[in-house]
Amino acid sequence: MKKAKLLSSLLLAAVVTSSSIALANSPTTNENNNTISATQTLHKTINIDGVNVFYREAGPVDAPTILLLHGFPTSSHMFRNLIPALADRYHLIAPDYPGFGNSDQPAMDKFDYTFDNMASVMGKLVNKLGVKKYSLYLMDYGAPIGFRLASQNPERIDSLIVQNGNAYKEGLKDFWNPIRKYWNDRTDENAGPLAAFIAPDGVKWQYTHGVRDANTISPDNWNVDLRHLTREGNPSIQLAMFYDYQNNVPYYPEWQAYFRKHQPPTLIVWGKNDYIFPADGAFPYKRDLKNVEFNLLDTGHFALEEDGDVIAKKIREFLN
């Protein structure tokens, strides 16, 4: 009798699991009544205050949502492989900021290219998409944008996934010296050296420095980035963002207070060979967060390029 009940329970569990997997992968129809897989990455645009914001979306809309916020100098293209690796179980949204990737590039006299405003646009995007709660994947520029969202609406944040995204002064090391000089004296002379960061060799360096094997890094990365970086007017936008980055630093104590008070479950997956945001900026998270999974990976700034499979596995284990 006990064996029969055990067998019945195991069969029921198998049916439930199979049904859940089938539901997650079940096809849906779009507005044209075309059948599409729930795990297919869709490429969409949404209008936010007159600006067309491009975003990638995949996964069942009723599954836990992850908002993927990209870094400099890239776009949602950096998540092109991570999205399908997670889309069977999670609802993923990866936008391009205005002036980046496939989003509009409004003129500087019509749009405020600051981290405050980028966060405002991202907040309006999740609201317009009807997302109530979500986890945040934060990388580089995505960190100050995402931490604004999290600290302003902590009840909406399920968890944090931090990949080479800074919230501590310890993380701003030698790379930032020429940018600090520009912060202190906003002249053309001090802006000159920063142009190297958006030149072809400089963009390539950000992908290849600190990696185990540069041959594993696709040149599509910097070629895709250079498409928006070389648009007319875009270099001035990037300079404006460099200059405004200084306004993130005064927020650090506020974000750290958010960590301590709300204790969001946090996964850190950090390329330890990153020169831009070195591992010095990863360790302080452990001061303020009790529920943190800490991983240093033997790669560079764009850790997804070499260790995408590792990161995807860690995310699945962490969120489960």
- Structure tokens that stand for 277 in this block: 């945001």
Q: Which residues are catalytic?
A: 301
Length of the chain: 320
- Structure tokens that stand for 160 in this block: 């944090």
Q: Which helix (H) or strand (E) holds 52?
A: strand 51-58
- Structure tokens that stand for 312 in this block: 């995807």
Give per-residue burial for 215-248: e unless 16+ CB within 10 Å, then b.
eebeeebbebbbebbeeeebbebbbebbbbbbeb
| 316, 159 Cβ separation under 8 angstroms | no
CA distance 247 to 179: 13
User: Strand 42-48 relative to strand 157-162: parallel, antiparallel, unpaired?
Assistant: unpaired
CA-derived radius of gyration, the chain = 21
Start-to-end CA distance of the chain, whole Å, equals 34
